[in-house]
Amino acid sequence: MASILKSLRVLSDPVRLRLLLLLGEEELTVAELQEIVGLGQSRISSGLAQLKGEAFVEDRRVGKNIFYRAADDLGGATLAVLAEARSELKETANDKTHLAFVLKKRKDRAAEYFNKLAGRFSRTYVPGRSWEALSHALLRLLPPMVIADLGAGEGTLSQLMARTAKRVIAVDNSEKMVEFGASLAKEHGFQNLEYRLGDLEDPPIQSGSVDLALFSQALHHASTPQRALDAAHRILKPSGRVMILDLLNHTQEQTRKLYGHVWLGFSEIELQRLLKKAGFAKIETSIVSRETESPFFQTLLATGVK
Tens digit of each residue's pLDDT, the chain (306 residues): 346 666 778 888 899 999 999 999 999 999 999 989 888 899 999 999 999 988 899 998 887 889 999 998 888 888 888 888 888 888 988 898 899 888 888 877 777 777 776 776 556 666 776 666 766 576 456 678 999 999 998 888 888 888 888 999 999 999 999 999 999 889 989 999 999 999 999 999 999 999 999 999 999 999 999 999 999 999 999 999 999 999 999 989 998 888 889 999 998 888 999 999 999 999 999 888 888 888 899 999 999 999
For residue 143, say if its preceding peptide bond is cis, omega within 30 degrees of 0.
Answer: no
Domain assignment of residue 30, yes or no: yes
Residues 145 and 77 placed together within one structural domain of the fold: no
Domain assignment of residue 22, yes or no: yes
What is the per-residue burial (b if ≥16 Cβ within 10 Å, else e) of 52-69? eebebbeeeebbeeebbb
Domain assignment of residue 290, yes or no: yes
Q: What CATH number did the domain enclosing 209 receive?
A: 3.40.50.150
Residue among 204, 148, 194 at smallest CA distance from 173? 204
Residues 244 and 216: their CA atoms lie apart, in Å, by 6
Residues 98 and 158 placed together within one structural domain of the fold: no
Q: Which domain holds residue 100?
A: 2-106
Residues 150 and 296 placed together within one structural domain of the fold: yes
Residue 295, burial from CB neighbour count under 10 angstroms (0-12, 13-18, 19+): exposed
Our count of domains for the chain comes to 2
Last residue of a domain, one of 106, 132, 166: 106
3-state secondary structure of 58: strand
Residues 229 and 201: their CA atoms lie apart, in Å, by 7
pTM: 0.67
Residues 65 and 139 placed together within one structural domain of the fold: no
DSSP 63-122: TTEEEEEE-S---HHHHHHHHHHHHH-TTHHHHHHHHHHHHHHHHHHHHHHHHHHTTSGG
Residues 170 and 95 placed together within one structural domain of the fold: no
Please provide the distance, in angstroms rounded to a whole number, between the alpha carbons at the two ends of the chain. 43
3-state secondary structure of 261: coil
Residue 302 near residue 273, CB atoms below 8 Å:
no
Residues 92 and 130 placed together within one structural domain of the fold: no
